[in-house]
Amino acid sequence: MEGSACAPSELTREEERLLIRDITVAAEANSKEGDTFYLINYRWWQHWLDYVNHDMTSNTNNVAGSYGSHYYESACSSSPRRPPPIDNSDLIYDAASEVSNVEMELHDTLVEGRDYILLPQEVWEKLYGWYGGGPMLPRKAISSGLSQTDLAIEVYPLRLQLLLDPKGEQAIVRISKKEKVRELHRKACEVFDLILDQVSIWDYYGRKKHALMDDMEKTLDDANIQMDQDILVEILGNGNGNTFGGGSSPGQENGSIEKDPASVVAEPCKSSLSVAEGLSASKNASRSCSSEFSQSQILASPSSDLDNLQVTNSINTRGASVGLTGLLNLGNTCFMNSAIQCLVHTPEFARYFREDYHQEINWQNPLGMVGELALAFGELLRKLWAPGRTPVSPRPFKTKLARFAPQFSGYNQHDSQELLAFLLDGLHEDLNRVKHKPYIKSKDADGRPDEEVADEYWANHIARNDSIIVDVCQGQYKSTLVCPVCGKVSVTFDPFMYLSLPIQSASSRTITVMIFTSDGSALPTPCTVSVPKQGRCKDLIQALSNACSLKSWEKLVLAEIRGHMIHQFLDDPLVLLSTIKDDDHLAAYKLPNLARSTGFLQLVHRQEELVPGNSSNSVVWKPFGTPLMSSISQEEISTRGDLHDTVQAIVHKMLNPMQRSEDLQASSLSNSSNFAVTHTSQDINTSEACKDSSDDNVTDNKSHGVKTTGFKIFLQLDDDNACIDLSIDEEKTMELPLTSSFLLFINWSQNDLERYNTKYLENLPEVFKHTPAPKRSRGEPLSLYACLDAFLREEPLVPEDMWYCPRCKEQRQASKKLDLWRLPEVLVIHLKRFSFSRSTKHKLETFVNFPIHDFDLTNYVANKNSSQRQLYELYALSNHYGNMASGHYTAHIKMQLVDENRWYNFDDSHISAINEEEVKSNAAYVLFYRRVKGEGATTSNGAHSYATYNHNPSRR
């Protein structure tokens, strides 16, 4: 029910923002199963954000929790008006349902972050109280996975069709999958006005009595009840316990029943998005809108019509069409169909699962699925390789999949590569021949030959992991880590199931920035992020904020460093990133987001430098390293001594992580060296920094009240390099310049330089360091070889993957280099087309020129023991068409039917022959390559020839 428009809130926009922020933080901290969340129109939420955040200087750090930071992008240039009443009407179907007992139905293709967001109940109540509107769309938090702490919002509860026997009445109910059977039983009786004791309910999957639902304490999730499933509500009657003459309802033959189109509930075509993924209900939605009703109609069609519907006339099977069987789309399951077709048409898997594989099932493996996933996959594979072209429903397999991988439950669109990764790992554990995994401690290489270390790692791996998946899909790569501080080299040899190759998009660029903290909590760390090539500074700030896990009370100040000083602040969010050159040096400072009266200190380091002269050598103070930044409250500064003491404490705190180990126990102030300035002002190079104003000796300084501990600190008063020594006349009242940023020079003594490891201040990386382009990729827009080069190229680890150096005994952001060592029979390559962050989700449409024949990896294999060329042939690939919000998956498979070797397009239940030229497109997502063993090698698939590869060295 919509609420009426409320009177305007008496709170200011700033008070509204802060109150919602505090409520959100508290709600997130105390979230538990059963909590209520509300859907709210994304456009209205964006309007409210623009309203409350107007005129704020930073638009990335002021919104509460994961809700605000995820969606804050204000495009308003003028002051936004107060939002109107909340309008959620776009989220629901306009037409009233023709079926009783159905609540307001959400559109099935809604995407969180595009159409709606989820707010805790407390937040909704505040906004609703201020603005009114509606309708209210509450949803419950449920547990997801095995851990009770993993919560998800069930945006789409189960939609079940109740069929009353023997009256033939129908009704649709919505119910949470975490509700117990008892609640479904109660709802059924309430809908049809029946007495509980006189009714039993059945899992009526496929219009057959699949299972009597008599365990009232079992949840619907545990009972494997899925979206849009039929539930038979049976009135207990005479004799045999029901009113069916032989256990069949009207229209039922041989235990099954056909759906009469006239009796089916008239509802809009829906893809039944039902999965709740964490606090994000959906990633994207498929263009597919298949329903099980339409599929049952197809299955009931005459065979001639079926041929026309399911397989195009362009297919000439020239014999038995074994392997040319499609999969029905159950509603957004094209991602699963594409992945399954690639796996079942892998020759080694087809042969293995068509033989007796049951003896290899590991029923006791705690890491597996007690053999159920392997059995479900094997059964589905056999159906797809059986004679005939009738499409197969993957419903039983999907049910098992949802049981063991809740992230793939429901009918949302998902990622085919993520499903492939889960399937390969799950099948491996179900079929692992190792019943009891031994504990094996890996040894360091310690200078041993790579061949010896690699064989040792592989033997240890096989001792714990031995299955058909390992035999076919697993390889090994050499990983080399180099500590940037001590130069320690660590070599490991790790297994891989697939290679995820980055796509070097022409529309993006990488930028490296050194991150500094103002609280001394971490060492300066380089951070490399990918940003749009034509993006703006706000994109760079957002990417850096995500990468360095910026807190809600922090903000990033981005600056360009030149000559060891801050050249300019990149504080305009609309400045184009194209103005940042590859040889620039950038620093980002994590500062607390405090009140407006707060100023910022620029702390420039200086050290003594001898300058040879004609008669004598003079000493000047020259800037070095990277300046630091910190915030300071101007209201707390009244004298020079106040500023001196405050800056001393800030500097020692920020430099503390750089303190050498032998000085860690020393007091940060009491052991600081005393420095007496003995050089005249004429010795100071004023073009580099401001002059040292003191030429008195220590005694004179003491007589004037000079502080003698810590660093020597000078405050620059104006652009003419006029400075004051803060250690002189500390009681003297001072007025800080009328600016938000103050420049101070910190003079380092030789003792200080020895006490701190200043290389963390001096090693400021370039924005981008150019490396020679791989020879193979020159002349090509983007080749698969170039993607492989990018994957294997040496690069620093990201901050969250810092490596523990055994020599330094500390976490380091080491550089990492990968080399292929042992190649599998089947090489699976994932092209990383999708990019995710808290604020953006996009797909790279870059065309990758991948070889179909003779994919040559000989020069990429570091193990040179084998003289045989490492050649691979493409035999399958999973394609993704469309964008993040709406996409569709298909599979291209190379097959041989009788004596014809050609490619086919598997589009759910539709199969058509295609030319080899059609295989390459910018939709290619996951590539499947099979090793070629010599000239004219032929691979087979059991009794059915699978594919013949004609080796042609001239083709690439």
Which helix (H) or strand (E) segment holds residue 295: the answer is: helix 292-299
> CA torsion, points 836, 837, 839, 843, in degrees to nearest 10?
-20
Helix %, strand %, coil % of the chain (to 5) = 25, 30, 45
Instruction: Determine whether 888 is an active site residue.
Output: yes
Structure tokens at 527: 């951070």
**Structure token pair of residue 101:** 């007992």
Q: What's the rounded Cα separation, in Å, for the pair 736 and 733? A: 10
- Relative to beta strand 900-907, strand 886-897 is antiparallel
97 strand-pairing partners = none
Which residues pair with residue 912 across a beta bridge? 905
* Residue of 334, 483, 527, 548 marked catalytic: 334
Catalytic status, residue 289: no
* Amino acid code (one letter) for 553: W
Residue 219 CB-half CA count within 13 A: 10
What stretches of 824-879 show up as alpha helix (H) in DSSP? none
Reading phi first (left if > 0) and then psi (alpha if -120 to 50, else beta), residue 824 is in: beta
Half-sphere exposure for 593 (CA within 13 Å, toward CB): 15
Beta strand 855-856 with 944-948 is: unpaired
Peptide bond into 166 cis (omega under 30): yes
Place of tokens 């407390």: 122
- Which 8-state DSSP code applies to residue 574? T
- In angstroms, the CA 514 to CA 516 distance is 7
CB 862 within 8 A of CB 450: yes
Q: With CA atoms as reference, report the closest residue to 730 among 748, 746, 713, 743.
A: 713
Q: What 3-state DSSP class applies to 403?
A: helix
The SS3 of residue 466 is coil
Residue type, 784: L
β-bridge mates for residue 393, sequence order:
none
Please state, in angstroms and rounded to a whole number, the distance separating the CA atoms of residues 931 and 939: 9
**Residue 320 is encoded by which pair of tokens?**
């038995």
Backbone CA torsion sign across 911, 916, 921, 927: positive
Distance CA 227, CA 418 (A): 22
Q: Which CB contacts under 8 angstroms, 24+ apart, belong to 543-548?
A: 543/837, 544/513, 544/515, 544/588, 545/60, 545/61, 546/837, 546/838, 546/839, 547/798, 547/799, 548/515, 548/588, 548/590, 548/799
Query: Tokens in use for 392?
Result: 């197969």
Q: What DSSP string runs through 126-146? A: HHHHHH-EE---EEEEEE-SS
- The one catalytic residue among 345, 461, 880, 888: 888
Q: Name the DSSP class of 865.
A: S
Pairing of strands 741-747, 598-611: parallel
Q: State the greatest distance between any 2 C-alpha atoms of the chain, in Å, as a whole number.
A: 123
- Among 231, 226, 218, smallest CA distance to 179 is for 218
Query: How many other CB atoms are there within 10 angstroms of residue 927's CB atom?
Result: 27
The SS3 call for residue 786 is: helix
Measured in whole angstroms, how far is the alpha carbon of residue 225 from the centre of its chain?
29
135 cis-preceded (ω within 30 degrees of 0): yes
Q: Contact at 8 Å (CB) between 205 and 211?
A: no
Positions marked active-site: 334, 888
